[in-house]
Structure 1
């Protein structure tokens, strides 16, 4: 497992990040510990979580459980200094966390303290804003995205509040870097400009959805990511399992995410299965595991990209980890390009 620079943070991280959002719902504490053991044994030192996890579903009674599972692993195994831990503070509108209250600097400070306690650590390496308070085009909201309700002065005042509290939290040693998630290019540009103008912490990375089926990052975001050295942490590189082929034919296997979430949060559409079939066909023609091909595609992008892998069992995790050994030949990339042109936005 190679190590790569994490933007301008000064940190080196594994070229794949371990996701954790099913630990505590679809996975037990023992399952989560086993996944961490396997990942670390394969050189994955970069782990991602969030205060609202686990998902499928998000429930008030389980909020924070995933962080607790990581915390008990750390308490039992040690080795905190060898890890880069990322977590997130929940945005506005998630009723299971603080009743859906908007994110503010004061909310963030409380959330940091709670995450530190659950994680059983003194510091968080990368603290991410899970999604912005304002309207967003992520989570399939692109189809009715309307930014006209935004107020630039109010948005920037909120950003300064967050950046000023982040500065204090970094000075106190509680977080090391601040970062974005489910953010827009305009939003990222304002965060960067305000930080530079006021001498405040710079947003280090962005965690947005990215896969063969979801390529909103490929244009303006790719340019900003590259020129501003703000790596993409690509979540759902397997499109919540669609790109493995396990849902092909619109089936719902026992124990899969579709049992709990039949539409995969809006990803299951009439257009998605023809797109999936196209990518499964490419993998089959070239003797590739489709999941590994999908993850390798993310790693081959012309902007800094670290895929976040997730699994519900060790067999799945083993396959995903094996993607680091896969290099896509030009012929494969050409077929992927043709499939993307034929199926540009399947959900």
Structure 2
């Protein structure tokens, strides 16, 4: 599988990354290990997780995803062949079961990192990401920006300084952001240049045929500053497979099991999805593979984070790596996007 550079670091990652947020909720430990075995056998060496996983987040399951990866690493003994990424939760979002409410303070960054390392049974992480900003900001699909109270926000200088301490201690190799904005990325780069702090190597944001908002602002930063996208939700929670069209509710589908996930289910999103699915079928393609191949092909994407709940789904997702979309297919996709632009920001 093709390798791509992680920012300006010396780390190379596979252009498909295994997302793991179902481990511990929709997937058992044995199933998680099977997915990890199959993904790595196919050439994936990049695994992404987070301290708050699995999703939906609950106190009783928090940390299970990292524990399952850790038990697999302990069995397989091939840690140095892999690039392992995790994330520290930010403020709010109903995470009071994490340290009484997670923050990106110096103390909490070190607490979160040490706990993740223990669960993963490793001495270091290749990439450590801030899961969402510890400041007032619109993310996770919220539209518009209204000034809010940032008096209790953790200063970015404090957070980056704590991450530098972890880098210096050999606990992490590189840092990244997630669910962040052009201002957040550029501010972190500015602080790194001014104060000799770690430079952001990547930003993990949503990107799919239903949400191409990364292309506005952040894609230029990715190109000019070398802060590539780790694209999450490339299938929009499975919506782009077409399995939810016409009111279908597959019994084990995430949107069937968890009604709270409504970001990709609006009427206009269904309209766009139908058109994308029709394009794939007109050209003899699998809808999911077409959607994934499009994301992977974008020049600002460092790695495309695929996730699955069954080995069959994972196999289909892996096959997208060998799919090269024709100019005709890409133009058909762009035609839909011009008419129905970003129905799910």
Normalization by structure 2: what TM-score? Answer: 0.96
Q: SS of the residue aligned with 2:234?
A: coil
In the alignment, which residue of structure 2 is the partner of 1:237?
234
Give 1:305 deviation, angstroms.
3.5
1:262 maps onto 2:259 in alignment: yes
Q: Give 1:150 deviation, angstroms.
A: 4.2
Match in the other structure for 2:101: 100
Seen in structure 2, the aligned counterparts of structure 1 residues 99 and 250 have a Cα distance that, compared at 3 Å, is farther
- Counterpart of 2:336 in structure 1 is 339
Displacement of 1:140 in angstroms is 1.6
Structure 2 residue aligned with 1:115: 116
Rounded Cα–Cα distance in structure 1 between residues aligned with 2:236 and 2:205: 12
Q: Provide the C-alpha distance between the structure 2 equivalents of 1:307 and 1:299, rounded to a whole number of angstroms.
A: 6
State whether residues 231 and 301 of structure 2, in contact with CA within 8 Å, keep that contact through their aligned partners in structure 1.
Answer: no
Cα deviations across residues 285-325 of structure 1 (Å, max 9, x unaligned)?
A: 11111111111111221323411000000000000011110
**SS of 1:35's equivalent?**
helix
Q: After superposition, what is the alpha-carbon deviation per residue over 1:7-44, rounded to whole angstroms, capped at 9, x for unaligned?
A: 11111111100000000000000000000000000010
Correspondence for 1:82: 81
Q: Is the 8 A contact 1:5 1:13 kept in 2?
A: yes
Query: Does residue 307 in structure 1 map to residue 304 in structure 2?
Result: yes
Query: Hey, what's the Cα distance between the residues in 2 that align with 1:205 and 1:179?
Result: 5
State the Cα distance separating 1:103 from its structure 2 match: 2.1
Q: Partner of 1:99: helix, strand, or coil?
A: coil
Q: For 2:289 and 2:340, locate their aligned partners in 1 and report how far apart those are by CA, in whole Å.
A: 20
Structure 2 counterparts to residues 218-229 of structure 1, below 5 A:
218-229=215-226
Q: Distance between the aligned counterparts of 2:73 and 2:331, measured in 1?
A: 44
In structure 1, the partner of 2:32 is: 32
Which secondary structure does the structure 2 equivalent of 1:249 belong to? helix
- The equivalent residue for 1:8 is 8
**1:18–1:39 Cα contact (<8 Å) kept:** yes
1:184 aligns with 2:181: yes
Q: Which runs of at least 4 in structure 1 moved beyond 3 Å after TM superposition?
A: 147-151
Q: Distance in 2 between matches of 1:248 and 1:38?
A: 29
Once residues 4 and 324 of structure 2 are traced to their aligned partners in structure 1, the CA distance between those partners, rounded to angstroms, is: 17
Q: 2:213 aligns with which of 212, 216, 222?
A: 216
Could you report, residue by residue, the CA deviation over 1:135-170 in whole angstroms, capped at 9, with x for unpaired residues?
23221212x53135446xx86x71111111111111
1:169-212 per-position Cα deviation (integer Å, ceiling 9, x unaligned):
11111111111000000011000000100011101100000000
Distance 1:41 1:54 in 2: 24
Query: How many Å separate the matches in 2 of 1:287 and 1:105?
Result: 52
- CA RMSD of superposed structures (Å): 1.4
Q: Provide the rounded CA distance (Å) in 2 between the counterparts of 1:262 and 1:252.
A: 11
1:107-256 → structure 2 map (5 Å cutoff): 107-142=108-143, 144-150=144-150, 158-256=155-253
2: CA distance, partners of 1:325 / 1:212: 19
Structure 2: give runs of 5+ residues left out of the alignment: none
* Offset of residue 345 of structure 1: 2.6
SS at match of 2:230: strand
Instruction: Describe the superposition over 1:88-143 as per-residue Cα deviations: whole angstroms up to 9, x where unpaired.
Output: 0011112332233432121010011000100000100000000001123221212x
Deviation at 1:264, TM superposition (A): 2.3
Aligned residue pairs total 342
* TM-score using structure 1 length: 0.95
**Rounded Cα–Cα distance in structure 2 between residues aligned with 1:216 and 1:95:** 30
SS at match of 2:200: coil
